[in-house]
C-alpha cells in the first residue's frame, strides 16, 4: 500500500490474482487465501451484495452476481465488483514480480519454473518476470502463506519475530541443521526454505524507520497492547499516533472442536497483527460427536468476543442439498453475508483496509 501510494478512499481489490476464469466468467479473480479490499471497495462490495438477486441461491454460480450454492466465492466476488462498481483485481506482487501471497507450500513454490511447468491455471495470463524461471518468486515481505496446519503458524512466528534469531544452540525446541543453522522446524527442502526465511527476516528489519512508528505493534506481535496505550492518551495524542493503515481481518470459520486449534493458533500468531480480528461462523456449531447446536433457536453458547455468528445463513455448513458432499459449499454465502455484517456493524470506521483470509 505504501510502496504503491494507494489510498483507502480509492478502489483496490488485490491479492494473488489468477486469470484462468477470464475465458468463462470474464474476470480475473483474487485467490481466496487472502483477498484484500480498500475501504472504498468494502463499501462497494457490501452495496453490491445487498442489491444482487437472491433467487436461485441453491444453484451453482453461473457468472452472474447473485446468491449461489458454490465453493468459488472468489469468482462471484470478482463478478459482483466488476458488475456493480467496475472494480477489477490487482496483483499483489513486488517490483520483481514476486508474489506477496503464497497459495501453496513455500518450499515448493520457491523452486517452480514456469517454462518447465507449462501454462497451467496458476501461471495463466500472468505477466512474465525473470523469477518465474529462476525461482525465488515469493516476495521477501510476504502478506500471507496458505495451506498450513496450525502448528506451522507458531513455527513462522518463531522464525519471523525473534525467537529463532535470539535462541541458544542448545534450545531443544528448535531444529539444528547439519551446518548448525537454527530453525523452528525441519522445513521441507531445508536449505532453500531456510534461506528464504532469512531473506524475509532481513527485509522485515530493513523495512526501516519510515514504518517504525506504525510497525512497532507488528514487531512486538501485540496490537492489543498498543490499543491499551492509546486509550491512556488524550484525543489529540491518539490522533497523532493512530495507525493510518489499520487492517480488519475477517476469517470465515466453522465452530467445531476439530477446528478450534486453528482458532487459537490464529489468535496467538498472525491474528495479533490485525487491528480488528473477527471469525465469522455459521449458526450451527459442534459436530456429530459432541452434538450440533443451532444458535438460531438456542443462543446460549458462550462464544469469545471475536466470534461473530452470521444468523441469516440459509445453507449452514452441515446441511447440504446432497449429503455425500460432506461440508456444505456455502462459502460464498458466508463471505458475502459476512462483508455485509462488517459494513452494517461499524467496520468501515475500524480500519482503512480489509482482508478476507482463510483459516489455513
Which candidate, 44, 46, 21, 24, places its Cα nearest to that of 32?
Answer: 21
- 356 in Cβ contact with 34 (< 8 Å): yes
- 305 in Cβ contact with 211 (< 8 Å): no
- Rounded to 10°, the helix 73-85/39-51 angle is 90
CA-to-CA distance for 9 and 255, rounded, in angstroms?
A: 34
- 271 in Cβ contact with 249 (< 8 Å): yes
pLDDT at 239: 44
Please name the residue that has the C-alpha cell 458488475: 83
12: CB partners within 8 A, 6+ apart: 6, 36, 37, 38, 40, 41, 90
The 3-class secondary structure across the chain, one letter per residue, is CCCCCCCCCCCCEEECEECCCHHHHCCCEECCCEEEEEHHHHHHHHHHHHHCCCCCCCCCCCCCCCCCCCCCHHHHHHHHHHHHHCCCEEECECCCCCECECCCCHHHHCCCCHHHHCCCCCCCCCCCCCHHHHCCCECCCCCECCCCCHHHHHHHHHHHCCHHHHCCCCCCCCEECCCCCEECCCCCCHHHHHHHHHHHHHHHHHCCHHHHHHHHHHHHCCHHHHHHHHHCCCHHHHHHHCCCCCEEEEEEECCCHHHHHHHHHHHHCHHHHCCEEEEEECCEEEECCCEEEECCCCCCCCCCCCEEECCCCCCCCCCCCCHHHCCCCCHHHHHHHHHHHHHHCCHHHCCCEEEEECCC
pLDDT at 329: 82
Per-residue pLDDT of the chain (360 residues; tens, 9 = 90+): 999 999 999 999 999 999 999 999 999 999 999 999 999 999 999 999 999 999 999 899 999 999 999 989 999 999 999 999 999 999 999 999 999 999 999 999 999 999 999 999 999 999 999 999 999 999 999 999 999 999 999 999 999 999 999 998 889 999 999 999 999 999 999 999 999 999 999 999 887 543 333 333 333 344 444 444 444 445 444 443 456 899 999 999 999 999 999 999 999 999 999 999 999 999 999 988 898 899 988 767 889 999 999 999 988 788 665 455 555 788 999 999 999 999 999 999 999 999 999 999
Render pLDDT for 11-37 as a digit per residue (tens, 0 to 9).
999 999 999 999 999 999 999 999 999
Could you tell me how many residues make up the chain? 360
Chain centroid to CA 51: 26
pTM over 0.85: yes
Please name the residue that has the C-alpha cell 496490537: 223
CA-atom Rg of the chain in angstroms: 21
Q: What are phi and psi of 26, to 5 degrees?
A: 75, 15
- 190 in Cβ contact with 183 (< 8 Å): yes
- 2 in Cβ contact with 208 (< 8 Å): no
243: CB partners within 8 A, 6+ apart: 214, 217, 275
Q: What are phi and psi of 189, to 5 degrees?
A: 45, 60
Please name the residue that has the C-alpha cell 525473470: 130
Amino acid at each position: 500500500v505504501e510502496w504503491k501510494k494507494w489510498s483507502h478512499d480509492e478502489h483496490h481489490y488485490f491479492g494473488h490474482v489468477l486469470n484462468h476464469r477470464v475465458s468463462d466468467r470474464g474476470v480475473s479473480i483474487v485467490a481466496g487465501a487472502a483477498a484484500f479490499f480498500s475501504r472504498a471497495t468494502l463499501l462497494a462490495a457490501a452495496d453490491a451484495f445487498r442489491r444482487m438477486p437472491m433467487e436461485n441461491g441453491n444453484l451453482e454460480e453461473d457468472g452472474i452476481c447473485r446468491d449461489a450454492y458454490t465453493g468459488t466465492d472468489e469468482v462471484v466476488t470478482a463478478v459482483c465488483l466488476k458488475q456493480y462498481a467496475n472494480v477489477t483485481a490487482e496483483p499483489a506482487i513486488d517490483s520483481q514480480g514476486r508474489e506477496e501471497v503464497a497459495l501453496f507450500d513455500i518450499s515448493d513454490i520457491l523452486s517452480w519454473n514456469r517454462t518447465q511447468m507449462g501454462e497451467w491455471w496458476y501461471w495463466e495470463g500472468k505477466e512474465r518476470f525473470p523469477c518465474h524461471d529462476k525461482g525465488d518468486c515469493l516476495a521477501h515481505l510476504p502478506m500471507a502463506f496458505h495451506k498450513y496446519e496450525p502448528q506451522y503458524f507458531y513455527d513462522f512466528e518463531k522464525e519471523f519475530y525473534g525467537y529463532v534469531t535470539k535462541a541458544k544452540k542448545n534450545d531443544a525446541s528448535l531444529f539444528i541443521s547439519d551446518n548448525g543453522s537454527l530453525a523452528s522446524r525441519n522445513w521441507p527442502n531445508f536449505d532453500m526454505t531456510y534461506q528464504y526465511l532469512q531473506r524475509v527476516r532481513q527485509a522485515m528489519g530493513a523495512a526501516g524507520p519510515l514504518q517504525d512508528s506504525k510497525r512497532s505493534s507488528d514487531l512486538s506481535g501485540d496490537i492489543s497492547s498498543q490499543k491499551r496505550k492509546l486509550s491512556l492518551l488524550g484525543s489529540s495524542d491518539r490522533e497523532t499516533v493512530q495507525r493510518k493503515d489499520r487492517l480488519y481481518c475477517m476469517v470465515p470459520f466453522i465452530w467445531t472442536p476439530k477446528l478450534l486449534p486453528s482458532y487459537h493458533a490464529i489468535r496467538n500468531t498472525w491474528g495479533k497483527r490485525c487491528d480488528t480480528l473477527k471469525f465469522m461462523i455459521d449458526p450451527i456449531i459442534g459436530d456429530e460427536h459432541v452434538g450440533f447446536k443451532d444458535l438460531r433457536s438456542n443462543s446460549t453458547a458462550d462464544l469469545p468476543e471475536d466470534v461473530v455468528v452470521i444468523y441469516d445463513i440459509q445453507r449452514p455448513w452441515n446441511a447440504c442439498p446432497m449429503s455425500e458432499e460432506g461440508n456444505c459449499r456455502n462459502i460464498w454465502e458466508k463471505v458475502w453475508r459476512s462483508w455485509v455484517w462488517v459494513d452494517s456493524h461499524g467496520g468501515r470506521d475500524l480500519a482503512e483496509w480489509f482482508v478476507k483470509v482463510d483459516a489455513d
